[in-house]
Amino acid sequence: MDSDSREHLFERIEAARDDLVALTRDLVRVPTVNPPGDAYGPCAELIGERMRRRGFEISYIRAEGTPGDSDRYPRINVVARYETGRPGPCLHFNGHIDVVDVGEGWTVDPFAGEVRDGRLYGRGTADMKGGLAAAVVAVEQLLAAGVPLAGAIEISGTVDEESGGYGGVGYLAERGWFSPPRVDHVIIPEPLNVDRICIGHRGVWWAEVETHGRTAHGSMPFLGNCAVRHMGAVLERIENDLLPRLSARSTVMPVVPEGARSSTLNINAIHGGQGLDFSGLPSPMVPDRCRMVLDRRYLIEEDPAEVEAEIRALLDGLAETRPGFSYDLREVLAFAPTMTEPDAPVARAVAKGIETVLGRPATSVVSPGTYDQKHIVRAGKLKDCIAYGPGILDLAHQPDEYVVIDDMVASAKVMADAAITLLAPPA
């Protein structure tokens, strides 16, 4: 493609700036909070009906029977497909439409989509409705400009990414929606900053540890066996033994932020004794159960089996030395680390786009957490997948989340440029 027609395309995208803002705002105004998974249907339709008017073929796919799916909260995904009429590969843009809960500390209405100082505010603007809208506008302008393309373009709005993706990309990937020959390249506009390409993510292992005890009257704790004290001993080992070992491990993965270039462990929750969800007074009891949820993130250099074995060894050590100690360990969720080659076709095409649009080289990064790439690689068996989008990584899930409008426009140009590279008709 000559530089004049590329300039013309970029001007078209620039001129669509207000449309891009309006689309993002419309998406933000549908409060698709997950959990529970609200308003997925209306949000999917907003994307589907818009793409239908642009000549796309639309499929709505409900992930029946997946976690959280019900008639009140149906897990509805949308996939839009456009055939250029020439044989060639398919480039797929995938965005999740669910957002996390609002939380405290907002100074703007989280579902209004307010614009201030070149920023669009609201829950999901960065993560990742702004990125999805940028992909939509990029594709619309690319097609409207009449750029010669081969193959097909797909755009999907999928659900439940924030809760593991089983009702969204996971469900679709199991059923061939993300595999060749249907799809060849995938770009996920997650918030990784406008000049960075995310080629993968660390591994994740969630587990629940339960310590056991025996109830007794609280005035005579020596007659019982306190499960909470046993959990205290587990915490002590984690604090003084495990955490220092984890933070000493490092990786070749270019994880951002740099603090995540070692292994990490978060204690997600701990519950023992009587609940706090009543207004009366507690009764005097020695607790017989205590549960802790662990969120362990690991590196490509670590063996997934070792990740579990290490926790088990810590617990077995306590069982040997601490009177009355017994435990259960249950895996809750596990995904191996994944990393696409930095010179994979989709990564190269987006890197070239970043250089063309922003005039500086792209950086390859790896995400500290997982996202839907895991399903595309594992269930879809498709490696040519990256994340690239306009949002600022650190703002995801925060109060007063926003996306910079200039970044959205720039990322739309980059995505359009990458599409031209990947879908160029044979000369």
128 binds Zn ion (CB under 5 A): yes
φ, ψ (nearest 5 deg) of residue 424: -65, 130
Least distance to Zn ion, CB of residue 65, Å: 24
* Residues from 19 through 78 that contact Zn ion (CB under 5 A): none
What number of chain residues touch Zn ion (CB under 5 A)?
Answer: 3
**Residue from 6, 47, 90, 127 that binds Zn ion (CB under 5 A)?**
127
Q: C-beta of 111: minimal distance to Zn ion in Å? A: 17
| Comparison of 132 and 152: residue with beta carbon closer to Zn ion | 132
Q: In 10 A of CB 66, how many CB atoms?
A: 19
Contacts of 42 (CB under 8 A, 6+ apart): 30
Shortest distance (Å) from residue 403 CB to Zn ion: 12
* Piece in contact with Zn ion (CB under 5 A), picked from 23-31, 58-66, 123-131, 241-249: 123-131
Alpha carbons 263 and 185: distance in angstroms, whole number: 30
Q: Which is nearer to Zn ion, 99 or 346 (CB)?
A: 99
CB nearer Zn ion, residue 127 or residue 154 = 127
- Name the one range near Zn ion by CB under 5 A: 9-17, 125-133, 149-157, 322-330: 125-133
Q: Which is nearer to Zn ion, 188 or 246 (CB)?
A: 188
Q: CB 132 → Zn ion: shortest distance, Å?
A: 10
Binding mask 155-194 for Zn ion (x = CB under 5 A): -----------------------------------x----
The region of 83-91, 121-129, 203-211, 286-294 touching Zn ion under the rule CB under 5 A is: 121-129
Name the minimum Å distance from CB 397 to Zn ion: 9
Q: Which is nearer to Zn ion, 44 or 128 (CB)?
A: 128
Q: Could you give the CA distance from residue 287 to residue 425 in angstroms, rounded to a whole number?
A: 69
Q: Is residue 347 classed exposed, middle or buried when 0-12, 13-18 and 19+ CB atoms within 10 A define those classes?
A: buried
Q: Which residue minimizes CB distance to Zn ion?
A: 127
Residues within window 86-105 making contact with Zn ion, judged by CB under 5 A: none
Residue 147 or residue 395: which is nearer to Zn ion going by CB?
395
Smallest distance from Zn ion to CB 342, Å: 22
Give me the least distance between CB of 214 and Zn ion, in Å please.
44
Which residue number, 201 or 296, has a Cβ lying nearer to Zn ion? Answer: 201
- Considering the complex, state which of residue 158 and residue 225 has its C-beta at the smaller distance from Zn ion: 158
Where along the sequence are the contacts to Zn ion (CB under 5 A)?
127-128, 190
